[in-house]
Structure 1
Amino acid sequence: MNLQVIRTEILGEYLNTIPEDLPKVFEALEDAEISTDTFSFYTSVASVYSSKIEGEDIELDSYIKHKKFGIEFLPDYTKKIDDLYSAYTFAKTNVLNKDNISEVHKLLSKHIVAKHQQGKLRIHNMYVSTPDGKIEYVAASPYEVASEMEKFYSDIALLLKQELSIQEVFFFASMIHLVFVKIHPWNDGNGRCGRLLEKWFLGQKLGEKAWFVPSERNYYEQHQTYYKNIRVLGLEYAELDYSKALPFLLMLPNCLKA
C-alpha cells in the first residue's frame, strides 16, 4: 500500500505482539440489554468517557438517566456529551471520508468552538501544553495542515478498499487515531474526534460489533498512560518517531482483555 501519512513500519512487530485471541474476543462482543432502538448504551459510554478525558464533569449513570429516561439535568452538564453522542450516531450510518469527518467535527464541537470554526481546519499554530503551562507538543504547522489532512483522507480511502485481517484493522484504526491527533487539525475537539475516528474505522471494516469496543472507557481509566504513549513519539510534528508507537497501538486491542 502506498500510504502517505499513516505509518506501517512497526506493523510486523505489532502483529507479533497483539493478543492471539483478539478475533474470538471481538466476536463475543454484544450490545447491552439496556439499549433500545432510540438509545445506545455503548454510544453513551463512548461519549461520556471520551468527554471525561477532556476534563468534562459527567458521570455515566447520570448521563444514562438523562439520555434513556429523559431525566433533566442542567444543560451545561450534558450538552457537550449530547453533541458527541450525535457525532457517534452520525458516524454509525455514514461513510468515513473527508466530508463526513468535517460533519462529525461540526456535531461534536457545537459547544466547544465558535460556529465559523466548526468543521474547519485551523489556520493558527497549535501547541499542546501541560497543566503547569509547559509545551509538550508542537502540532503540524498551519501551513501544512491542509496538505497533511489531504494525505490522511487519501490513506483512509485506500485502507477502506483493502482486504485486511482483524489484527490489521485494529492496527490501522489505532494509527488513524494517533496520526490524526498528531496533525491536530482543529482548533479544539481533536482528542474527541481522534477517538471517534478510531472507532469509525473499526465499524467500517468490522461491522456493528466494533461500536461495542470499550476503547474510550479504557483510555479514560488509563488516561495518564494514554497521554504518555502519545507524547513519547516526540515534541514536534516534523520529528515524530513512529517506531515508538507500539505501546499506544496496543491499548486498543488490550481493552478487550477480561
Structure 2
Amino acid sequence: MNLLKNILLSNYIDAFRNEAIAGFDALIDAEISTDTFSFYTSVASVFSSKIEGETIELDSYIKHKRFGIEFQPDYTKKIDDLYNAYSFAKENSLNENNLSEVHKLLSKHLISKNFQGKYRNQNIFVTTDDGKIEYVAALPEVVSTEMKLFFEDINQLLNTSLSFEETFFYASLIHLVFVKIHPFNDGNGRTARLLEKWFLAEKIGDKAWFIQSEKNYYNHHQNYYSNLRVLGLEYEDLDYSKALSFLKMLVQSLNS
C-alpha cells in the first residue's frame, strides 16, 4: 500500500468491540424515507454541513426536503448540494472520476465553478478562529501524485477481501488521509466524510449509508478536530502512529 498503511490495524482490531457488528446488523432505514427521500442521507448532509459551520437544523431540513416546506434558499442550498452528492455516490462506483463528480455537486455553492471537481494548485493552510495556522496541507505540486497513489490503494482494497473490522479500519483511514492531503480548494471535510461511507457501502452493502457517522462526528466535534491535529502540523511530517483515536470514531457511531 502507498498511503493507506496498516501500521495500526492490530491495535485497532484489539480495540474493536463485538457490539459494533450487532449495531451494524440492526441498522434499518427510517420509516419516513420514501423512494424520493432518504432520512439518513438528510442526517448525513445536515450534520456534515454543521461540522463546517452551517446553521441548518435537521428538523427544518426534513420539512424542506420531505414535505416541501420552503425556507430561504441560503438556508438549504449547501445542504441540498451535499444531499445530491450522497445520492450520486449511492448510485455510482467509487473511483477517482466519480469523486470529481461528487465534489462538483457538493461544492456548487462553496467555490467558483472552475475549481469544482478539480485538484487545487494553491497552498492550503487550515487555521484556527483567531488566525493561527494549525495545519499545512500537501503542497500543490504533489497533490495529483498523492491522489493517484491514494486511489491505487483504494482500488486494491476494493478488490481485496476484508473482514468487517478491516473494512471499518480502512474506511476511517481513507477519511483521514484524504483530509490530510486536502486536495480541493474547499469541501474537503464534506468529501472525506462521504468518501468514508462510500467505501463502506462498496465493501459491506447499502446498509452502510444508514450509519450516522456524520452526526457522531458533529456531536464530538472537539474530539474530531483534536484527533486530526495530533498527527502533526505539516503533511510531510505527519505521524500516523498517533491516529488510533481518530480511526476509532467511525465504529463508535454504531453505538452512539
1:5 corresponds in structure 2 to: 3
Alignment of 1:203-242 (within 5 A): 203-242=201-240
2:250 corresponds in structure 1 to: 252
1:44 corresponds in structure 2 to: 42
Shift of 1:102: 0.3
Instruction: Show structure 2 runs of 5+ residues with no match.
Output: none
1:16 corresponds in structure 2 to: 14
- Amino acid paired to 2:95: N
Shift of 1:21: 2.2
Question: Following the alignment from structure 2 to structure 1, what is the Cα–Cα distance between the partners of residues 30 and 9?
Answer: 33
2:154 corresponds in structure 1 to: 156
The alignment partner of 1:193 has SS state of helix
1:91 corresponds in structure 2 to: 89
Which one of 104, 107, 116 corresponds to residue 106 of structure 1? 104
- Amino acid paired to 1:194: A
Question: Following the alignment from structure 1 to structure 2, what is the Cα–Cα distance between the partners of residues 52 and 245?
Answer: 23
2:57 corresponds in structure 1 to: 59
Tell me the TM-score normalized by structure 2. 0.99
Question: Following the alignment from structure 1 to structure 2, what is the Cα–Cα distance between the partners of residues 125 and 60?
Answer: 34
CA contact (8 A) 1:19 1:254 kept: no
Q: Residue by residue, what CA displacement relative to the aligned partner does 1:55-94 show, whole Å, maximum 9, x if unpaired? A: 0010000000000000000000000000000000000010
Aligned length, in residue pairs? 256
Shift of 1:257: 1.4
Q: Residue by residue, what CA displacement relative to the aligned partner does 1:72-127 show, whole Å, maximum 9, x if unpaired? A: 00000000000000000000010000000000000000000000000000001010
Question: Following the alignment from structure 1 to structure 2, what is the Cα–Cα distance between the partners of residues 122 and 192?
Answer: 16
Question: Following the alignment from structure 1 to structure 2, what is the Cα–Cα distance between the partners of residues 208 and 90?
Answer: 13
Q: 1:70 and 2:81 equivalent?
A: no
Question: Following the alignment from structure 1 to structure 2, what is the Cα–Cα distance between the partners of residues 167 and 10?
Answer: 12
Question: Following the alignment from structure 1 to structure 2, what is the Cα–Cα distance between the partners of residues 203 and 71?
Answer: 31
The alignment partner of 1:256 has SS state of helix
Question: Following the alignment from structure 2 to structure 1, what is the Cα–Cα distance between the partners of residues 54 and 229?
Answer: 22
Question: Following the alignment from structure 2 to structure 1, what is the Cα–Cα distance between the partners of residues 20 and 50?
Answer: 27
Question: Following the alignment from structure 1 to structure 2, what is the Cα–Cα distance between the partners of residues 25 and 81?
Answer: 27
Q: Residue by residue, what CA displacement relative to the aligned partner does 1:3-23 show, whole Å, maximum 9, x if unpaired? A: 101121010000000112222
Question: Following the alignment from structure 2 to structure 1, what is the Cα–Cα distance between the partners of residues 4 and 127?
Answer: 25
Q: Residue by residue, what CA displacement relative to the aligned partner does 1:156-192 show, whole Å, maximum 9, x if unpaired? A: 1110001001110000000000000000000000000
Shift of 1:134: 0.3
- Amino acid paired to 2:54: E
Q: Residue by residue, what CA displacement relative to the aligned partner does 1:184-226 show, whole Å, maximum 9, x if unpaired? A: 0000000000000000001101111100001000000010100
1:183 corresponds in structure 2 to: 181
Tell me the TM-score normalized by structure 1. 0.98
Instruction: Show structure 1 runs of 5+ residues with no match.
Output: none
- Amino acid paired to 1:114: S
Question: Following the alignment from structure 1 to structure 2, what is the Cα–Cα distance between the partners of residues 31 and 247?
Answer: 29
2:26 corresponds in structure 1 to: 28
Identity %: 65
